[in-house]
Structures are given as structure tokens and as C-alpha cells.
Amino acid sequence: MHEPTPSLRERTGGAVRASWMADLWTVFRAKLDESLRPMPFALGGAAGLLLGYLGPFGSDTATLAQRYTYWPGVVIGGTLIGVICSALADALVDREGRRPIVGTLVGVVLMTPLATLFALIATRAMFGHDVMPGAYVGLLGPVFLLSLAMSGMNHLVMRRAAPPSVEAAAAPAPVTVRFLDRLPPRLRGAELHAVAAEDHYLRLYTARGTDLILMRLSDAIAELDGLEGAQTHRSWWVARAAVREVKRGDGRATLVLPEGVEAPVSRSFLPALRERGWL
């Protein structure tokens, strides 16, 4: 068997970039959902109360009520900024969670300028102080150190709350899907959205773009066992997780996939898909 000629492949740079951004956004949202837990904000609140009591950076001249309002607000607001930046850092450099120190450092670098700006705005709102450009630059270092300390503390607390042994025991055994080994190198490891027959070839729709391989759809469906999905048409197989919307009209149904790809649903497959809750 020969590889399909280049003319049969879609190699559009813009589509690849769009798929990369969509993949990054998906990972970022997943990481953000993992990070939005009460623990980081509880730690931030406790640190804010301690700073309110100590009155650092000249805030000891303010009243106790002002300090206990200002510092918890600044630290909790900075924690929210940190959670968002940490999720972005993990999506960029540490998707598998194998380099937590690198992810933490990148997150702190991303959040420092934003948290510093937030602190200066809060200072002006609370105390009415004019914010000078030099104050921003001078505050970057202390904010970086405080953010690093808070991020490190949060990382240690979360690790103790969920030991790796517990996570490993709870994780289901990995399922081997033979068909995924047939993906071209540039698509290897990408989320598979759909497979569509085109003459003697199969069009692969993934989170990193599309490509063609030489294979029959019936053979592909047999090798897709273990991946949740279904045949929706004599020429289409669709992954359940890839369905974003169901369009109906004229007694027909169409499944909308990422990047606006539309997979038809034929009448012969309609009852089975409806019974499985797809429609």
C-alpha cells in the first residue's frame, strides 16, 4: 500500500494554528476546573489576616479595620489571578503534571505583573494613595516572592491532600485503542473527533487538524473498540466526546463537531443513537 499523495492532504497553516489554540483552550479549562478549589483561597484568606495583623509595607499606620479589609482582599484577589495564571502555565508547559516546579515558576512569572497592578489599584481604592510608576517597579520583587511562597505552600498542601498512591489506585486501567496507532505522526496523541470515508481513504478529524489514511471504514470501526463513539452514517464514525451540538431539520439530524465539522446521521442509525442518548 502506498501513502496518499500530498494533493489529497489538507496542510493549511491557519487550520493547524486554530486547532492548537482550541486544544490549548480545552486543556486550560480542564486545569482551571482542577485549580478552582476552596483550599487556595482559604490559605490566601489566612495569609491576608496575618499580613493585616503585621501591617507590612507601611500599612501599620492604617487602622486595624482597614488592614483586615485591605490585606485579605489583596491576597485573595491575587490568589484568583494566580489560579488562572497557573492553569495557563500548566496548559502551556506541564499538561501531564510531570513538572510541577516548572509549571509553578511559569505561573508565578505570569501572575506577578498582574497581581502587582491589582495591589496598587487596591491601595489607591483603600487609602487614596497616588500610584507612581516607580512604585509598580519597586513592588514587583516583593509580589514575586510572596506569590512564589503562596504557590509553593498551596502545591504542598494539595499534594498532601491527594497522595499519588490514592490517585493511582482510583485511576481506571488504561484502554488500548488499536486504531490510534494508525494516526500519522503529526496527529499522534491528539483527540480523535471523527473518521469519514472518502473513496478508498479515511479522513481523520482530530484536535490537531485532519489527514488521510488508506483503510476501510469497517476495519477502522473494529479497531476503534475501547473509544466511546458510534457509526452515524455508512461513511462516518463519530466520537461521543466530540459532539458539540445536534442540528435537526427535514426529518434528519446532523452532529456538529469542533471546528464546525458536521457529521450526518442517516435514518438507519438514528434509532440506535437515540436509544444511547446521543439525540
Decide the pairing of beta strands 209-214 and 245-249: unpaired
* Strand positions, DSSP E, 79-222: 192-198, 201-206, 209-214
Q: What is the pLDDT of residue 262?
A: 94
pTM of the model: 0.45
Position with higher pLDDT, 159 vs 225: 225
Taking only the tens place, the pLDDT of each residue in 31-49 is 677 667 777 778 778 888 8
Taking only the tens place, the pLDDT of each residue in 191-249 is 999 999 998 899 999 999 999 999 999 999 999 998 999 999 999 999 999 999 999 87
pLDDT at 143 over 60: yes
Burial of 70 per CB tally in 10 Å (0-12, 13-18, 19+): buried
CATH number assigned to the domain with residue range 178-275, chosen from the 4 options 3.40.50.800, 2.40.50.1020, 3.40.50.720, 2.60.40.420:
2.40.50.1020
Q: Find the mean pLDDT for residues 149-158.
A: 69
Helix (H, G, I), strand (E, B) or coil at 122: helix
CA 171 to each of CA 144, 164, 165, 166, 261: distance values in angstroms, whole numbers, following the listed order = 35, 10, 10, 9, 32
- Cα torsion angle, 136, 139, 144, 150, sign: negative
Listed in order, the ranges of the chain carrying CATH 2.40.50.1020 are: 178-275
CA 68 to each of CA 38, 43, 138: distance values in angstroms, whole numbers, following the listed order = 20, 15, 24
